[in-house]
Structure 1
Amino acid sequence: MEKQPNKLINEKSPYLLQHAWNPVDWHPWGEEAFRKARETGRPIFLSSGYSTCHWCHVMEHESFENPETAALLNRHFVPVKLDREEHPDVDHLYMIFVQATTGRGGWPMSVWMTPDLKPFFGGSYFPDTERWGMPSFRSVLKHLADLWERDRPRLLASAGSIMDQLAGFARPEAAAGEVTDRHASACFASLERGFDAEWGGFGGEPKFPRPAVLSFLFSHAAATGNRHALDMALLTLRKMADGGIHDQLGVSGLGGGGFARYSTDRFWRVPHFEKMLYDNAQLAASYLEAYQASGEELFADTARDIFNYVLCDMTSPEGAFWSAEDADSLDTGGSGKKREGAFYLWTEAEVSALLNADEAALFGAACGIRREGNAPFDPHGEFTGKNIPFRAKSNDELAEAFGIPVETIRQRLDSARKKLFEAREKRPRPGLDDKILTSWNGLMISALAKGSLILGDQKLLEAAERSARFILDTLYDSESGHLLRRYRDGEAAIEGKAADYACLILGLLDLYSASFDADWLRAAIRLAEAQIERFFDEDAGVFYSTAADDQSVPLRMIEDNDNAEPSANSVNALNYLRLAAITGRDELRDIALRTIRHFSRALDANPSALPLLLVARQIATAPPVQIIFAGKRGNPALAKLVATAFRHNRPELTVIHADETGEELLPEAAQIGRTHKGEPAAYLCADGSCQPAISDPESLDAALGSLK
C-alpha cells in the first residue's frame, strides 16, 4: 500500500512538515481538530515542539514513525501537532500546566486534553520503552485511553478544575506597589548568588546565555557604579566567546560562527548545537554593550562574528532572517544516521589532513584539539575521539609558546580556520528552519541597527533596513494596524502576538536612531498605538500575549518572565519610554510606567524573573538625557557626532533628529529643526534644559562625560 501523508502536508511550518508522512493522523492546531474531537468524543493528544528540537526528533523516530504506536494514537485520540514557535501563546498555556503537574517542562511537550481543550495529563518526552525512570509512550497511551473509557466523569471534572486554576493564573493581579531600587538590588543579589565566578554564567549546567540578565547587569553597573555587576557580565561574555558554544570557524564574508542554544557543561565547552536567531540577535546586542562598557576589541569582534553568521547563513533571498539551524545532521562517517553536532565535530586526524604541519600544531593548541577528543562532558559517549573547537589559548599565549609574533599567529589561524570552514561546508548541513518570524526578525533588526552605529558599519544598517522593509511590506496591514507572525513559502499567516509587535517596534526605533529616517519612527508609532488597542488591559495596566480578538488560544496569558526570549511586557516598557521621550507624548510614558508597576508583586516573589523590566525601570527613574541632532541625513559630520553619542553605554539616552516636517517629534526637536542653520550640530538636553549647539565630536564626548 502506497504511503499517504497526513493533514500536516498542507502546512508551511518546517516542524509540522517533518511529521507529514508519519502514520499518525496528525492535525494542525485549529477548529477542524477540535470539531473531530467533539464529534468522536475522543480526547486530544497535543504534541508541541519545533523543527530544531533534538528530543522531538528522537520521539518522532521512536514513536510517531512506529505503525503500532500510530494505530494506538489514531484509535483512541485526536492527534494534534503544534509548532511552538508559530503559536507561543498556546504552548505557554499548556506548558504552565505541565510544569505545575510534573515539576518540569521541555520539548517535545505532550498534553492530553478534553475536546473542549481542558488538559488532564501532561509530560515531555516519553521513550518507546520504559527507561530512565520513565514509562513508555505506548503504556501511557493505553492507560489514558482506558481511563477515558472507564472514568471519564472524573477526568472531565479534573480537567475543568485545572482549567479554572489556569484561568486564575491568567487573571491579572492588581499592582501591589512601586518597583523600586529594592527590587533591582534583590535581583542583583540573586544573580550574584548563582554566579559562576570561574567560568561565568549563572547556576549549574546546563548553562544558558541569558542576554536579558546581561542587559540588567550592564544597566545596574551604569546606574549604581557597581563594578562587580559589570565584571560578572564581561566575564560571562568572554568565557562564552572562548567556548565551544561559540562556533569557532566563522570566516568573514563566508559564514559560520555565531552561538549555539546552550552549553551542557559549566565550561561552555559542549553545546546543544542548534543555533537560534533570537539567541544570536540578543547576544550580538550583549557583545555590543560589552564593547561600549569596556572598549575591548574581543567584544566588538564577537558581535561582528555573529552578524557575519546571520548575514551569510541565515538570510533569506527576500532580505529577512530565517529562524534556526538544527543540532542534528547526517553522520560524516556515512552511516546514514543523523547525529547531534556531526557537522561541527573534528577528529585530530581530520584537522591534520587539511592543514599544513605548522597550522595543525597551532590550531590544535589554540582550539584544544586532542587525539582522544576534548569533550569534558559526554554522558552518552557521542564525542569519543571527536573535538569541539574552543579557545584553549589566547593569541598572546600562543605567540609566547611558539616564539612567533602575534600577527603571524593571527594570520596562520585565519588560514587554518578558512581551510577547515571550506571542508566543513562540504559536509551534510544541519536542517534549516526557514520560516521568517516577525518577533525574531525585530530582535535582529535591533541588533544590526545598533551594530551599525557602534561598529560604524553601514552594511549592517542596510541589512536591518531590508528585513524591516520586508516585514512591513509582507506581514503588516497599514490600514488596520494588524501584524502577522510568520512568513514561509509565499504565505504570510498567523495573528501577531504581543512579542511580534514589541520586538518589531524595538527594531524600528533602533533603525530610526541609526538612520534618522522618520518613516521607521512613524511605523513604530502606528504599531505601538495598534498594540495598545489590541493587547493592553486598561484596568490592570499590562499587555496580554494574545490580542483580544484572537480566538486561537483558550486563555489569554500574561508573560511574566524574561527567559530565552524577553517578555513582551519588558520590551514594551522600554519601547513606550523611548517613544515618549522622542514624541513628548505623556500617555505613552504612562503605559510604560503602569506596565512596570504591574509586576511589583511578581518581582517581590522572584526578583530575577524580569531583569529587562528592571532595565526599563532604571531608565524611567534616571534623569532623562536626550540629544537632538540637527543637520542633513547622510552628512559625514552628522554621522561622526551620532557615533560619539553611542561610544558609551547610556541606557537612558534618547537620540532625535531635528526634522522641521516631523509632526511626531518632541516640540523642542521640531523647533530646532525649523531654526537650525549651518553645519550639523548636537543639542544635549538634560536636567530640564538644552545646552547650546555642539558641532565637534570631542566637545560632545566631554559634555556627555560631565553628566552624572
Structure 2
Amino acid sequence: MMQQENKSNRLINEKSPYLIQHAYNPINWYPWGEEAFEDAKKEDKPIFLSIGYSTCHWCHVMAHESFEDENVAAILNKFFISIKLDREERPDVDSVYMTVCQALTGSGGWPLTIIMTTDQKPFFAGTYFPKTSRYGMPGLIEILESVATQWKNSKEKLINSSDNILKELGKFFVSESNDTKLSEKNLKNGYNQLLKSFDIKYGGFSPAPKFPTPHKLMFLLRYYKMYDETNALEMVETTLGSMYRGGLFDHIGYGFSRYSTDDKYLVPHFEKMLYDNALLVIAYLEAYEITKNPLYKDISIKSLEYVFRELTSNEGGFYCAQDADSEGEEGKYYVFTPDEIKIILGEEDGNYFNEYYDITDEGNFEGKSIPNLIKNSNYNKKDEKIDVLAQNILDYRNERYSLHKDDKILTSWNGLMIAALSKAYKVLEDEKYLEYAKKAIDFIYNNLVDSKGRLFARYREKEAKYKAILDDYAFLTYGLIELYESSYEILYLKKAIDLTEAMIDLFFDEKNAGFFLYGKDSEKLIARPKELFDGAIPSGNSVAAYNLIRLARITGKSLFEEISKDVLDYIAGSIISEEINHSFFLIASSFALNKTKELICVIKDESEKEKIKDTLSDMQAFNLTVIIKNEENSSELEELIPYTKDYTLKDNKATYYLCEGNSCFPPTNNLNEILAKFHKIK
C-alpha cells in the first residue's frame, strides 16, 4: 500500500492506520484541520475530501487505482486542497458528509468522495470512482478536471449550489418529530415488519448483502419474552443458526465477518469488526439464556477467543478490526483447496475435514472453498476430532501472509465489547471475562479521560485524541451498566451515572429532545446531526435512552426517567412507521414499557453474593434489576440510591426484597421464595 519511493506527505505525522496507509501517496494530503481550510482559502482552491477506513476493501481499490497514480496526484495537487479522513476517528465528520451523499445520490458507502467549498460546504458527493470512466461510471480524472474548470470559470455557481444543498438538507441532519408518543404499537409494528421481511429459509431480514444487525435479534428475544410469541424466537434461532453455519463465521479461527454477500451467509465480506463480534456475542448469549442451546454458548466462547487472540492490546483495550485483503486479494487468507487440506492433515483426516466443511474441487469462492456447515446436518453436535483438526489448519493458516490489523482503540466500540464480556461473565460464570472487562475499563479511564473528566474517542501509540461523541458516552455507559449488573461493584454504577450526567450536559437538546451527535464543546461542523438510525451499529440516541431508563429504574432518579421518555417519544415521532430500522430503540422501548422488577438483596458476606450470582445466572429476565447491599458498600450505595436506606437485614440474615412498579412483596430470608414470586408475576 505504501509507496516508499515517494516522499511522505503530512499524513506521516498522524496515528490513524488508515491515514498512515496514504502517507506515501504522491498526493499532497492534509489531515482534517485548520491548516487545510486556511490553505484552501489562501490558495482559492476547492477541497477534495476522501473518507474511508483502513480495513475497507474498496478504499484499498481506489487508493491503488487513483491515489497512488501520478496523473491523479498532479490534478489534485494543482487544483485542490486534498484531505484524507479516517471515519472511525471522526464519525461526526463522516456522518455529516455521508448524509449529504445519501441525500444527493440515493446511496452511500466507503470510500466517500466529497468536493466542497473552502468553508466546507459540499457541492459534489459520491463513493468509489475508477480512475477513468468505465461501465457508465464517471472516472475520477474526468470529475476532477470538470470541477477544476467550473471553479475557475463559474465559482459563484458552485458556491450558490453548495448553499442551496445545505438549505435543502437541513431536515436530513435533524429529524423532525411529530406529537406521537411511544406505545406498545411501536413494538408490534417492529415485530410485524421484521416478520414480513424475514427470510424463512436462511434467516435475516433483507436480501443480500445481509448484515448481522444483532440488535434486531435482541429485540425479538425481548418480544418473545413479553408476548410469548414463538415466531419471534423461531426467527432468532433460524438466523443465529444460518449465520454460524455459513462462511460469515470463521470456522477455523473463529469470529464473524462484517456481512454476507449472498442470502445464505456463505460468502462474507471478510473484514472482521470489533463491534460486530461484541454485539453478536450478546445476541448469542441472550439466546442461550432463553433456550439453553449449547451451540450458542460455544459460538459465544469461540467469538471471544478470537477477540482475545487477534483484537486485544497488551494495555487492555480492544483493537478495531482485521482486514479482508491479503496480498492484494480479498478473502485469500481464508480459503482452501481439498488437496491443500490433505497435505496438512493426511489423506484420511483430510477427506474427513473436507467433507465436514464442504471443501471441494469446484470451490465456492473463486475456485477455492470457504469452510462452512451449510450442508452439514450435524453442525450442532460437538465433534472433538474436528476441533483438533481445525486447530492444525489454523496453525497452517497463521503461516500465510498476515492480515492488516487496525490497532487503534475506540472508546465506543470498546464499550460494546465490555458489555459483551460482562454478559459473558454473568451467563457463563468464567472469571476471565470479568477480568478482561475490568482491564478494559481501567485502560479507558487511565488513557482516554482528561484531567477535567472529558472523555476522548481514540487511542493509539500513547496518544488520546478527538473529543468523544455521543456514541462513545452511550456505548461506554452501556458497558458499565452491564459490568455493574454482572459484578455488583458500586464503582461501575457510579461511573455509569457520572458519564450519563456528563452526556446530558454535552449532547442533550433541551428544546426539542434527542441527543446531538457531537458535544457543545466540540468542533462546529456545517451541521449538528442527531442520529436515530440503528444500522450495523446502533445509534447513540437509542443506546442512551436504554441506559437512562435502566439507570432510572436502578437509582430512582426521576431526571433520568424523564429524559429517557423524552428521547423515546422523540424517536417514536420521527421514524414514521419504520421501526424495523430502529431495533435498538425497540429494545429500549420494551424495557420502558414493561414493568421493571427490582430485587434488593441485603447480605452479610461475600458467599451470599456468590449464591445470588449463581442463582441468577440460570435464569433470563430482561426486566429484572438487582441491587446487592452489604456492610462495606452501604454508605456509598445509599448516597447513589437513596431509597436503599430503607432496606435492612431481617433477623440478622440475608434478606431479599422484590418490588414491581411502586409496590413490594414482604421481605424474606429465602432467595428461592422471592424468585418463585418473580416468576409468578412475570
Assess if the C-alpha contact under 8 Å between 1:481 and 1:526 holds in 2: no
Counterpart selection for 2:509 from 537, 540, 550: 537
Cα gap change, 1:697/1:457 in structure 2, threshold over 3 Å: closer, same or farther?
farther
1:134 equivalent in structure 2: 137
Name the CA distance, whole Å, in 2 between partners of 1:275 and 1:678: 53
For the pair 1:269 / 2:266, whether they are aligned, the reply is yes
1:186 to 168, 186, 189: 189
Deviation at 1:21, TM superposition (A): 0.3
The 3 A distance-change label for structure 1 pair 664 and 361 is farther
CA distance in 2, matches of 1:356, 1:664: 66
1:60 to 59, 63, 79: 63
Provide the rounded CA distance (Å) in 1 between the counterparts of 2:475 and 2:67. 35
Q: Which residue of 2 aligns with 1:306?
A: 303
- Is 1:373 the counterpart of 2:363 in the alignment? yes
Contact 1:173 1:540 in 2 (8 A): no
Matched, 1:663 2:634: no
Q: State the percentage of identical aligned residues.
A: 40
- What TM-score results when the alignment is normalised by the length of structure 2? 0.96
The 5 Å alignment of 1:505-654 reads 505-551=477-523, 553-631=525-603, 634-635=606-607, 637-654=608-625
**2-structure distance, mates of 1:5, 1:654:** 55
Determine the C-alpha separation between the residues in 1 that align with 2:5 and 2:129. 29
- On the 8 A contact 2:178/2:574 being kept in 1, the answer is no
Tell me which residue corresponds to 1:13.
16
The SS at the match of 2:472 is helix
Distance in structure 2 (CA, Å) of the matches to 1:320 and 1:486? 11
- In the alignment, residue 642 of structure 2 is paired with which amino acid? P
Letter in 1 for 2:334: Y
Cα offset for 1:102? 1.1
Contact 1:201 / 1:209 at 8 angstroms: preserved in 2?
yes
How far 1:601 moved relative to its partner? Answer: 2.6
Cα deviation for residue 364 of structure 1 reads 1.4
Runs of 4 or more consecutive aligned structure 1 residues displaced over 6 Å after TM superposition? none
1:41 has 2:44 as partner: yes
The normalised TM-score by structure 1 is 0.92
Shift in CA distance, 27/676, structure 1 to aligned 2, threshold 3 Å: farther
CA drift at 1:29: 0.8
The residue that corresponds to 2:205 in the other structure is 202
Q: 2:388 aligns with which of 415, 420, 426?
A: 415
Q: CA deviation at 1:360?
A: 1.7
Instruction: Please name the residue that 1:388 is paired with.
Output: 370
Distance 1:599 1:562 in 2: 11
Q: Paired residue for 2:30?
A: 27
Which secondary structure does the structure 2 equivalent of 1:580 belong to?
helix
Deviations 1:44-75 (A, max 9, x none): 00000000000000000000000111011111
1:139–1:106 CA distance, 2 compared to 1 (3 A):
same
Answer with 208-217 or 106-115: which moved more: 208-217
1:690 aligns with 2:670: no
Measured after TM superposition, the shift of residue 138 of structure 1 is 0.7
Residues in 2 aligned to 1:670 and 1:654: alpha-carbon distance in whole angstroms? 17
Whether the 8 Å contact between 2:480 and 2:496 is mirrored in structure 1 is yes
Count residues with an aligned counterpart: 675
CA deviation profile, 1:118-173 (whole Å, cap 9, x unmatched): 00011000012322321111111111111111221111111001112233433453
CA distance in 2, matches of 1:428, 1:323: 20
Rounded to whole Å, the distance in 2 between the matches of 1:275 and 1:679 is 50
Which digits, 9 at most, give the CA deviation of each residue in 1:343-396, with x for residues without a partner?
Answer: 111111111111133322222122111012134xxxxxxx21x11011145574
In the alignment, structure 1 residue 87 sits paired with structure 2 residue 59: no
Q: Does 1:346 align with 2:336?
A: yes
Q: Which amino acid aligns with 1:84?
A: R
Does residue 466 of the first structure (1) align with residue 439 of the second (2)? yes
Aligned partner of 1:234 among 211, 234, 237: 237
Q: Which stretch shows the higher mean deviation, 303-312 or 493-502?
A: 303-312
Give a deviation string over 1:635-656, Cα, whole Å, max 9, x none: 2x42232243343432222121
What is the rounded CA distance, in whole Å, between the counterparts of 1:171 and 1:414 in structure 2? 50
Contact persistence 2:425–2:431 (CA under 8 A): yes
Name the counterpart of 1:452: 425
Change (3 A) 1:469 1:324: same
Distance 1:269-1:682 versus aligned 2 partners, 3 A rule: farther
After superposition, the C-alpha distances for 1:500-541 in whole angstroms (9 at most, x for unaligned) are 000001111111111111111111111111111110011111
Aligned to 1:323, the other structure's residue is in SS state strand
Counterpart of 1:666, as a letter, is I
Contact 2:609–2:628 (8 Å) recurs in 1:
no
Which region of structure 1 is more displaced relative to structure 2, 441-450 or 548-557? 548-557
Partner SS state of residue 203, structure 2: coil
Which stretch shows the higher mean deviation, 162-171 or 294-303?
A: 162-171
Amino acid at match of 2:305: N
| Counterpart residue identity of residue 689, structure 1 | S
Structure 2: how far apart are the matches of 1:503 and 1:324? 18
Whether contact under 8 Å (1:183, 1:604) holds in the other structure is no
Question: Which structure 2 residue ranges, 5 or more long, are not aligned?
Answer: none
Distance 1:397 1:277, change over 3 A: closer
Q: Is the 8 A contact 1:522 1:664 kept in 2?
A: no
Is the partner of 2:208 in helix, strand or coil?
A: coil
The amino acid of 2:482's aligned partner reads D
Distance 2:593 2:42 in 1: 56
How far off its partner does 1:2 sit?
6.2
Moved more, 141-150 or 23-32: 141-150
**TM-superposition CA deviations, 1:448-503 (whole Å, max 9, x none):** 001101111111011000001100111113x5331000000110110000000000
C-alpha contact 2:494 2:640 (8 A) present in aligned 1: no
Distance 2:106 2:174 in 1: 22
Tell me: CA distance 1:697–1:170, structure 2 relative to 1, closer, same or farther (3 Å).
same
Tell me the secondary structure at the aligned position of residue 444 of structure 2. Answer: helix
The residue aligned with 1:143 is 146
Distance in 2, matches of 1:428 and 1:700, equals: 57
Give SS of 2:627's match: strand
Deviation of residue 622 (structure 1)? 1.1
| Cα separation, 2, equivalents of 1:697 and 1:358 | 55
Please give the alpha-carbon distance, in whole angstroms, between the structure 2 residues aligned to 1:596 and 1:633.
40
The question of whether the paired residues in 1 share the 8 Å contact of 2:181 and 2:572 is answered with yes
Matches of 1:178 and 1:644 in 2, distance apart?
38
Q: Secondary structure at the match of 1:505?
A: helix
Return closer, same or farther for 1:507/1:359 CA change in 2, 3 Å cut-off: same
CA contact (8 A) 2:189 2:577 kept: no
